[in-house]
Structure 1
Amino acid sequence: METSTKDFWENRLAEDWTETGVGYRALGAAFNTWMYRVRRAVFLREMAAAPIDLPTAEVFDIGSGTGFYVDLWRELGVAGVTGSDITTAAVNNLRGRFPDSDFHPFDAASPELPVPAGAYDIVSAMDMLFHITDDAGHAQALRNAARLLRPGGLFVFSENFLFGPEQRGPRQVNRSMHTIERELAAAGLEPIRHTPMFVLMNAQVDAPWLRRRAWALVMRTVTAAGLGGLAGRLLYPLEMRLLASRREGPSTELMICRRIEQQ
């Protein structure tokens, strides 16, 4: 019997509540450490420049996992962060790690919200929406983000935004830019900015097939040889230079949307 999405992540995070557990597990802990340094740099840069007053902003984070982005929101100096996760393991651990914040069990694909609607200035959903494999559930997650926001509030999330054909697997669906933009519009969310989170250091999902296969082969070889840390250290400065100059990438991207005010 196929394991449900909730059970899959419950088991995985109960076993490994680290950035590797929620990250690209096949690449190993050492390379994931460098990947999260890239994520941190891009996220802090983009949110520091976002059109919102961070010191007064209340944030709701969907799919908080280990609390990586909760920590970044706190570093940015927001007024408060409320978190959530589909797994009991993550919620319990997050409550212990951040005792001054609230954390709620929440399936983002469900229409039931764990908190009052319209109570937040920012909603974030980082590195998790592509794990919602059900299309109706994915659209519901975007509607939920809009429902949680005050009019004019910001939705910050990461997706793969393919320009090529959609890619479907049992635990991840890489959707097209067209599909995601259509769902955002239906939810009342208007994109105002998007930028690559990776160019070289994450799976080349929106690149030609041969490049995708070559990347996977090289990274498997590097990981098997125990060279993930060295590869990450060498690629990191090049990755940051590329990210500073590109507006599109072959991998995960960050998008910021504004909730459209009803007329």
Structure 2
Amino acid sequence: MQLYISDLDGTLLDRNAEITEYTKTALNRLIAKGMNFTVATARTYSSAGRILAGLNLQLPIVLMNGVLIYHPVRHEYEVINTLADADAEKIISLCGEHGLSPFMYLMNGSVMSTAYSKLTNQAMKDFLDERVQKYGKAFIHTDNLTETEGDVIYFCFLDDYEKLAPMQEILSGMPSLKTAFYHDIYGDEWYLEVFSAEASKESGVRYLREKYGFEKITAFGDNLNDLPMFAAADERIAVSNAAEELIKTSHRVIGANTEDGVAKYLEELYNG
């Protein structure tokens, strides 16, 4: 059995962060014919679920760079990777020392919430506004992130490279943590995402391979946070708008995200 797995932003989605009708129709036709297809994204299900509405996915989705794995048919999380309390407290303490303000994601049972203390730049404000207005996501404002309820699973920083690089250097040296540090494809800022060392797009892909018995996995991506997914795949395919580092590690380069590149490649493959 073969699995095709695609990143969302910059890969499967167009410049408006949406799935075009062409891609949706093509993928649904191929899934109905028996193609095994799913996605792996840095997004939560709050936004990814709405983006994917109308796409008849039958397999689990890798969310938040592998922190969560969610089954869209059974409507349940198969995997939840939490951060140790000591690690969460350390990250919050470092935020104060470096003058940074993150979005902090928590789980209460199977319910996710997102907390923040300050919106320190326009990119953070746009990030919050888009998710509230476009996806109906709820955010919790708090003066003290340590007083929130639930298990911490993820931190997301959105700021200038120079401000985030020192934090990235410290956190990447902690063996219990994993980070993703990459340029925002929709703006000039950088993302720094922090989560459990047990989680990654790589571990998410390996989980799907082992649980569902896939013998070959083909991955599609565009950005540096897709490198772990590429590491776990047998075939690595980059869209033409991908970061140069990702293109260098790929077996093939296909059409851009703005050209329905993934869908057209899969149609050609199945119809050829």
Higher-helix-fraction structure? 1
Does the TM-score normalized on the shorter chain lie above 0.5?
no
Higher-strand-fraction structure? 2
Q: What's the TM-score, normalizing by structure 2? A: 0.30
